[in-house]
């Protein structure tokens, strides 16, 4: 038995003694039947009042942990029956102490703050990354009920990598886009996000290095960070990532993975040049690094045809290709696919057995029918036109209303305009003020490793807002920016003690 008392503590001395004895009895350090010193002996040893020990023993007896027997003195009691009477344990688990590093590693940047602004009633939302609801793919659902009712066995269960019929369909779908893969190299996933997650789980240990483009797709950054990976940024140029810097990082840091979105990049709209694609593949092969190609947008090219994925040029099998039906049909289907080396598909499947087993059977059936009967191609053709018009509407409105200092790109496909704010303006402040005026936007910060770099950018989506409110929304946004510029110019000049040393 060990007891240490601390008179400086707020806890009364008798509680300090009782708690320590209690802990030692429960842990077994003090065995069942242990003979305690008399109250006077313990008081003398600890240099305290006898009453204090008396009170401590009294409490322990009330809890059934001590018992006094004539002739035997005071002994420890550890029988189950007595323990059950005690109710002094914490009522709720200590969740915060139980969580994993994975949960703690999550990026704390609160992107939901901005998405909630977008969900307010009557807000014109440029913040989302969601398809239009004004052009539903009605043909995708026609006849599905009959199929479900006539063949319920098809609803029972799917192979982990997806129905083999759909994997065949996706292999020819990829072949039409010059990517000559086999059905065994296809895995149907619950969206491209699952592909990112499976790749992160298959490759990343804590401390491993992942190279990403900067800016980059925010949830990918989060996925890698949550695995405990170290992220390093390769800056984006107007024709894709800086491949010279990429090579230096490959040589120096031996990364486990390169993550890229080579076509109609989210958020910055850039597409990688062929020369850079060649170089990227060459470097990946030389340094034996897998490339994760995230490609949800390449079918939405505004020049009338789909852009060729990096994967089409991948002779050595370094590229793990991801795409999704979320941007071309509906995110609510939760359906995407991976195209990669057969061995990797096997490994991804073995991981996926522990995640969600397989994708929803109904979604798989809907997409397969939609592609096979030729309706999907027509539908994508129609939204390509629609989204190009919306992009033009947004660009035109910006041209008309933009204040000096605001600049933006004109993407050749995809979902977003990427705007650089006039100097000194903060995207966070703008998001807040714009929301107050009924317009939601996404600031650039989450897309950067160091948040300050993203503070002068905003992302504007033109696919989700109602078509007839795009121009009006841009006008409101530009007015807000103009007011903020004015306010900024009237600010006091900086003093030189902005950041005070912490003493």
Site for a copy of itself in 226-265 (CB under 8 A): 226-227, 251, 256
Q: Which of the ranges 9-17, 60-68, 199-207, 410-418 carries the binding residues for a copy of itself, by CB under 8 A? A: 199-207
Please give the helix or strand (H or E) that residue 485 lies within, else none: helix 470-489
Residue found under tokens 């200092």: 405
Size of the site for a copy of itself (CB under 8 A): 91
Taking CB under 8 A as the criterion, the residue among 152, 304, 493, 501 binding a copy of itself is: 152
By CB under 8 A, tell whether 202 contacts a copy of itself. yes
Q: Which of the ranges 5-13, 17-25, 178-186, 345-353 carries the binding residues for a copy of itself, by CB under 8 A? A: 345-353
Nearest to 128 by CA among 462, 478, 412: 462
CB of 118 to a copy of itself, least distance (A): 12
By CB under 8 A, tell whether 158 contacts a copy of itself. yes
Taking CB under 8 A as the criterion, the residue among 103, 275, 410, 486 binding a copy of itself is: 103
Cα(435)–Cα(431) distance, rounded to whole angstroms?
6
Site for a copy of itself in 2-31 (CB under 8 A): 26-28
Please give the helix or strand (H or E) that residue 224 lies within, else none: helix 218-226
Residues contacting residue 280 through CB under 8 Å, at least 6 positions apart: 240, 241, 243, 246, 258, 260, 272, 291, 310
By CB under 8 A, tell whether 54 contacts a copy of itself. no
Measured from the CB atom, the residue of 343 and 400 that comes closer to a copy of itself is: 343
Q: Which of the ranges 10-18, 359-367, 393-401, 473-481 carries the binding residues for a copy of itself, by CB under 8 A? A: 359-367
Measured from the CB atom, the residue of 46 and 148 that comes closer to a copy of itself is: 148
Terminal C-alpha separation, the chain? 44
**Interior CA angle at 191 toward 332 and 239, to 5°?**
115
Site for a copy of itself in 435-454 (CB under 8 A): none
Name the H helices within 255-341.
Answer: 274-286
Measured from the CB atom, the residue of 43 and 360 that comes closer to a copy of itself is: 360
By CB under 8 A, tell whether 213 contacts a copy of itself. no
Cα(209)–Cα(348) distance, rounded to whole angstroms?
20
Site for a copy of itself in 274-333 (CB under 8 A): 282, 284-286, 288-290, 315-318, 330-333
Cα(125)–Cα(401) distance, rounded to whole angstroms?
18
By CB under 8 A, tell whether 122 contacts a copy of itself. no
CB of 57 to a copy of itself, least distance (A): 22
Phi-psi map region of 370: left, alpha, beta (phi>0 left; psi -120 to 50 alpha): alpha
Taking CB under 8 A as the criterion, the residue among 49, 274, 353, 407 binding a copy of itself is: 353
DSSP 271-285: ---HHHHHHHHHHHH
Q: Which of the ranges 43-51, 86-94, 381-389, 422-430 carries the binding residues for a copy of itself, by CB under 8 A? A: 86-94
Nearest to 314 by CA among 181, 201, 189: 181
Q: Which of the ranges 44-52, 351-359, 421-429, 441-449 carries the binding residues for a copy of itself, by CB under 8 A? A: 351-359
Please give the helix or strand (H or E) that residue 319 lies within, else none: strand 319-324
């Amino acid at each position: 038995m060990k007891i240490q008392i601390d008179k400086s503590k707020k806890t009364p001395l008798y509680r300090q003694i009782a708690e320590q004895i209690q802990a030692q009895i429960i842990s077994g350090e003090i065995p069942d039947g242990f003979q305690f010193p008399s109250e006077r002996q313990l008081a003398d040893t600890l240099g305290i009042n006898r009453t204090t020990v008396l009170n401590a023993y009294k409490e322990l007896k009330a809890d059934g942990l001590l018992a006094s027997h004539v002739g035997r003195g005071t002994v420890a009691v550890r029988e189950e029956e007595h323990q059950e009477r005690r109710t002094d344990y914490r009522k709720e688990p200590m969740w915060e102490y139980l969580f994993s590093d994975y949960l703690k590693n999550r990026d704390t940047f609160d992107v939901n703050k901005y998405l909630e602004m977008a969900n307010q009633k009557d807000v014109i939302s440029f913040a989302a990354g969601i398809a239009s609801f004004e052009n539903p793919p009605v043909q995708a659902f026609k006849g599905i009920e009959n199929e479900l009712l006539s063949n319920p066995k098809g609803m029972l269960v799917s192979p982990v990598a997806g129905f083999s019929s759909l994997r065949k369909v996706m292999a020819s779908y990829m072949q039409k886009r010059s990517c000559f893969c086999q059905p065994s190299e296809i895995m149907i996933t619950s969206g491209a996000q699952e592909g990112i997650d499976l790749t992160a789980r298959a490759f990343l240990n804590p401390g491993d290095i992942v190279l990403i483009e900067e800016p980059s797709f925010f949830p990918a950054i989060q996925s890698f960070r949550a695995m405990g990976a170290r992220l390093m940024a390769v800056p984006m140029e107007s024709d894709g990532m800086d491949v010279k810097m990429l090579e230096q990082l490959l040589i120096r840091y031996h990364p486990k993975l390169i993550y890229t979105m080579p076509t109609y990049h989210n958020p910055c709209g850039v597409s990688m040049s062929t020369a850079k694609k060649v170089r990227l593949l060459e470097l990946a092969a030389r340094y034996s690094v897998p490339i994760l190609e995230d490609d949800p947008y390449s079918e939405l090219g505004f020049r009338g045809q789909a852009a060729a994925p990096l994967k089409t040029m991948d002779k050595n099998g370094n590229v793990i290709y991801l795409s999704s039906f979320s941007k071309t049909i509906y995110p609510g289907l939760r359906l995407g696919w991976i195209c990669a080396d057969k061995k990797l598909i096997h490994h991804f499947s073995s991981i996926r057995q522990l995640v969600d087993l397989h994708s929803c059977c109904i979604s798989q059936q809907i997409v397969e029918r939609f592609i096979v009967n030729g309706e999907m191609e027509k539908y994508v053709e129609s939204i390509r036109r629609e989204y190009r018009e919306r992009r033009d509407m947004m660009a035109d409105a910006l041209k008309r209303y933009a204040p000096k200092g605001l600049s933006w790109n004109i993407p050749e496909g995809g979902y977003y305009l990427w705007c650089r704010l006039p100097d000194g303006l903060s995207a966070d402040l703008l998001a807040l003020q714009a929301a107050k005026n009924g317009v939601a936007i996404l600031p650039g910060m989450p897309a950067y490793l160091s948040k300050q770099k993203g503070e002068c950018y905003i992302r504007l989506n033109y696919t989700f807002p109602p078509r007839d409110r795009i121009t009006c929304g841009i006008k409101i946004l530009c007015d807000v920016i103009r007011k903020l510029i004015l306010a900024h110019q009237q600010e006091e000049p900086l003093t030189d003690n902005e950041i005070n040393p912490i003493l």
